[in-house]
């Protein structure tokens, strides 16, 4: 929808319609910034489109011209936020350090309070909205699972893991304990926890592969 086209953005607009008017990047930026700020202050449920518009110095219609609903806007914003921080598959040369790097990467992204807030909020909507669920899976979860898969593959190639290892399990173990702890338990996860977790995951993967 409002995923800015890079070419257009250089021209200060986002869409090019022959003879028509284009959404203005400055306005989109102001809205985006205001939305993230409101989100950080009040959370998804309490956030109002009117407050975002007011904060951005923008009419409500400018929001609805870009997104068809409050939820649509948040979905798009979180998509941008997580895409801007795409996880790179770490390649440190050893499974253990790869795991540690991956866990640190997940932690780093979830430590952003706005990302955490929006993800938590969207979880509540997933059941009601298949499109939202798909987006979350595709844009948020898949790249992270892919990174986990790559990490496992590299370990197999190095001979650290047998080829029979369960790749899905690997993805779950890299994301879930940390995610659960940070998003749900509101718990902290220091370097020691990550180190312990990396050790456990490594052993778990090897054991489950047999």
Partner DNA sequence: TTCTAATCGAGACGGTACGTCCCGTCTTGCC
Partner DNA sequence: GGCAAGACGGGACGTACCGTCTCGATTAGAA
| Options 48, 184, 188, 191; binder of its own copies; rule CB under 8 A | 184
Helix (H, G, I), strand (E, B), or coil: what is residue 13?
Answer: strand
The answer to whether 23 contacts DNA (rule: CB under 7 A) is yes
Query: Could you tell me if 122 and 78 are in contact, meaning their C-beta atoms sit under 8 angstroms apart?
Result: yes
CB of 25: closest distance to DNA in angstroms? 8
As a whole number of angstroms, the distance between CA 152 and CA 161 comes to: 8
* 136 vs 150, beta carbon nearer its own copies: 136
* 9 vs 113, beta carbon nearer its own copies: 113
Stretch near DNA under the rule CB under 7 A, chosen from 45-53, 122-130, 133-141, 179-187:
45-53
| Options 5, 97, 180, 188; binder of its own copies; rule CB under 8 A | 180
Stretch near its own copies under the rule CB under 8 A, chosen from 23-31, 99-107, 146-154, 194-202:
194-202
Residue recorded with tokens 């909020």 = 121
| Options 54, 55, 120, 167; binder of its own copies; rule CB under 8 A | 120
Subset of 125-164 contacting its own copies (CB under 8 A): 125-128, 133, 137, 141
As a whole number of angstroms, the distance between CA 164 and CA 103 comes to: 23
Q: Which does 18 bind (CB under 5 to 8 A by kind): its own copies, DNA, none?
A: DNA
- 145: tokens are 């699972």
Query: Could you tell me if 100 and 26 are in contact, meaning their C-beta atoms sit under 8 angstroms apart?
Result: no
As a whole number of angstroms, the distance between CA 183 and CA 176 comes to: 10
- 136: tokens are 């979350």
DSSP string, 80-124: HHHHTTPPPPP--SSHHHHHHHHHHHHHHHHTSHHHHHHHHHHHH
Q: Where does this chain bind its own copies (CB under 8 A)?
A: 42-46, 113, 116-117, 120-121, 123-128, 133, 137, 141, 166, 169, 172-173, 175-177, 179-181, 183-186, 193, 196-197, 199-208
């Amino acid at each position: 929808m409002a995923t800015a086209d890079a070419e257009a953005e250089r021209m200060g607009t986002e869409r090019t319609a022959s003879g028509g008017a284009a959404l203005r990047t400055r306005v989109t930026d102001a809205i985006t910034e205001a939305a993230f700020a409101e989100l950080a202050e009040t959370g998804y449920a309490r956030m109002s489109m009117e407050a975002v518009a007011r904060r951005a110095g923008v009419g409500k219609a400018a929001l609805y011209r870009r997104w068809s609903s409050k939820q649509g806007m948040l979905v798009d914003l979180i998509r941008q936020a997580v895409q801007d921080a795409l996880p790179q598959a770490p390649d440190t040369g050893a499974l253990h350090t790869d795991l540690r790097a991956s866990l640190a990467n997940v932690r780093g992204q979830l430590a952003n309070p706005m990302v955490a807030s929006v993800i938590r909020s969207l979880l509540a909507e997933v059941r009601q909205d298949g499109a939202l669920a798909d987006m979350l899976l595709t844009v948020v979860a898949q790249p992270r699972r892919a990174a986990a898969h790559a990490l496992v593959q590299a370990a197999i190639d190095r001979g650290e893991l047998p080829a029979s290892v369960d790749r899905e399990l690997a993805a779950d173990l890299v994301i879930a304990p940390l995610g659960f702890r940070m998003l749900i338990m509101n718990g902290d996860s220091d370097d020691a926890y990550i180190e312990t977790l990396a050790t456990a995951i490594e052993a778990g993967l090897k054991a489950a592969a047999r």
